[in-house]
Amino acid sequence: MLVTLFEFVQKITTIELQTATKHKYDYITSIIETHITISYPEEFKFTRQTNCFLNHLAIGLPWATAPQRAAALLELVSKEECVCIDLYCTSPCSSGSCFKEHAVTVHLPKQKPTNPNFSSGPCSKRPGFVLDALKDAALGRSHRSKLGKAKLQEVIDRSRTTLNIPDNYLLGIVPASDTGAVEMALWSLLGARGVDVLAWESFSLGWVTDIQKQLNLDDLRIFEAPYGQLPDLGLADFSRDVVFTWNGTTSGVCVPNGDWIADERQGLTICDATSAIYAMDLPYHKLDVITYSWQKVMGGEAAHGVLILSPRAVQRLESYKPNWPIPKIFRMTKGGKLNSSIFTGATINTPSMLCVEDALDGLRWAETIGGLDALINRSKCNLAVLERWVSNNDNIEFLAEKPETRSNTSVCLKISASWFTKLSAEEQAKAAKKFTSMLEEAGAAFDIGSYRDAPAGIRIWCGATVEAADLEKLLPWLDWGLDQVRRIYA
């Protein structure tokens, strides 16, 4: 579609007109900046003439309210081929008569992802999900009723089967999502021996803070690495307890495998696996505590965590009592013995039966598509789509420095174009934000900004609930967005 300034103005002014609102100028500026490429001739003096243009739009014409203008603009730009107004004024004036205008066509990508949800948590619901899938939820029923307990037990059973959990490991549903599950493990198990903690991004650094500043452990060794890297895994000493995150969701860096973990060990391995489980092969015999939450790879509703314990972890629980108080919400033992009911469908406090039903829906879906192998394969194929894009793109790189540590779920990318790397950190953050908000407003991708503590960039969830076809459709939008942002910031 080709739209001249005149048509553009006409289109906007055909909507019901009202007195201009106070913020019209800022509002229209931000919308125009976001959605419309304005290119200027060399001699164009940006500030003055841009203001002139905007004032013509805002004052020289009777304006609708800001939301109405926004609606009209968005309608224009949501067309598959959209507006580029290429204009300039010869001199500032108030009548609009000074406008010289011509228009060029900007091609917006033809198709948008059918499902633009690429958030790294809560993650996209499974393909085909509709609320009706939860119609059998035990709503309004006690979680201790026969029905409620059976549903909780079913989640446990189906999770164990789908994940191939060893028979002698326990799996229970616990409060407060993955954080709850990790905290339960740290507070209940640590302190019996020295602890090594490996950290390379925001969440793992959070566990460092807990162990160091809340539990105040003396015999603590911390191995840290910056975003994009892993610490030297060979430094972990398995005569001690070792705490680590399998996949660093905020850096897109995961451990490549479990080869570095001793089979024979005196300490426990405590693994936050929330962005890895159902998407990566986990060697359970090397892990004593595994935690995750439903909101990640399976696209479940956030609320509850899952805690998996090896026999050695249970043995620790029954033989060691930390010298700090354990809040009820973290307590796994009663009278020195494991509270085994947690692992057979009882819960420490009241669970959401809606979330339980949703977790079941996800598990049933996983079974229909072929179980764990299919889930892992879907995620790897999703990563492959982005790998192809990155390898053909000089402006983008993986944040993960080594391919073998590249996450296939939380794919974190950095903008390596020279126009971007030349910007200050603050400007980079603004440019990256602009990029993600443009894609969001275009309805092409939601929530693909990097995590707040991570370097400015892009993070695209590639877990099993995301369709490779949607990622393919996203790619032209990523190119488009980067080009738009370059025009503003270069």
In the complex, the residues that contact ligand PLP under the rule CB under 6 A are 121, 177-179, 203, 245, 249, 272, 274-275, 293, 295, 302
Q: Shortest gap between Cβ of 257 and ligand PLP (angstroms)?
A: 18
Nearer to ligand PLP, 178 or 447 (CB): 178
Q: Shortest gap between Cβ of 245 and ligand PLP (angstroms)?
A: 5
Q: Cα(172)–Cα(427) distance, rounded to whole angstroms?
A: 45
Q: Cα(389)–Cα(282) distance, rounded to whole angstroms?
A: 28
Nearer to ligand PLP, 351 or 481 (CB): 351
State which amino acid sits at residue 421. T
What's 106's DSSP letter?
A: E
Nearer to ligand PLP, 99 or 278 (CB): 278
Task: Please answer whether residues 470 and 448 qualify as being in contact, where contact means their C-beta atoms are separated by less than 8 angstroms.
Answer: no
Q: Shortest gap between Cβ of 181 and ligand PLP (angstroms)?
A: 8
Q: How are beta strands 458-461 and 410-415 bridged, if at all?
A: antiparallel
Q: Cα(331)–Cα(341) distance, rounded to whole angstroms?
A: 12
Q: Shortest gap between Cβ of 201 and ligand PLP (angstroms)?
A: 8
DSSP state letters, 283-299: -GGG-SEEEEETTSTT-
Nearer to ligand PLP, 121 or 299 (CB): 121
In what helix (H) or strand (E) does residue 101 lie, and over which residues does it extend? strand 99-107
Q: Shortest gap between Cβ of 203 and ligand PLP (angstroms)?
A: 4
Take residue 159 and report the two structure tokens written for it. 């999770």
Helix (H, G, I), strand (E, B) or coil at 276: coil
Nearer to ligand PLP, 34 or 251 (CB): 251
Nearer to ligand PLP, 293 or 450 (CB): 293
DSSP state letters, 124-193: PPPTT--GGGGTT--TTS-TTSHHHHHHHHHHHHHHHHHHT--TTSEEEEESSHHHHHHHHHHHHHTTSS
Nearer to ligand PLP, 35 or 272 (CB): 272
Nearer to ligand PLP, 53 or 246 (CB): 246
- Bridge partners (DSSP) of residue 413 are 398, 458
Nearer to ligand PLP, 305 or 481 (CB): 305
Q: Phi/psi at 255 (nearest 5 deg)?
A: -70, 145
Q: Shortest gap between Cβ of 16 and ligand PLP (angstroms)?
A: 44
Q: Cα(286)–Cα(189) distance, rounded to whole angstroms?
A: 17
Q: Shortest gap between Cβ of 300 and ligand PLP (angstroms)?
A: 10
Q: Shortest gap between Cβ of 103 and ligand PLP (angstroms)?
A: 45
Peptide bond preceding 122 in cis form (omega within 30 of 0): yes
In what helix (H) or strand (E) does residue 251 lie, and over which residues does it extend? none
Beginning with the edge strand found earlier in the chain, give each strand of the sheet holding 241-245 in spatial order.
170-174, 305-309, 289-293, 269-272, 241-245, 195-199, 220-224
Q: Shortest gap between Cβ of 132 and ligand PLP (angstroms)?
A: 26
Nearer to ligand PLP, 88 or 292 (CB): 292
Q: Shortest gap between Cβ of 454 and ligand PLP (angstroms)?
A: 11
Q: How are beta strands 337-338 and 333-334 bridged, if at all?
A: antiparallel
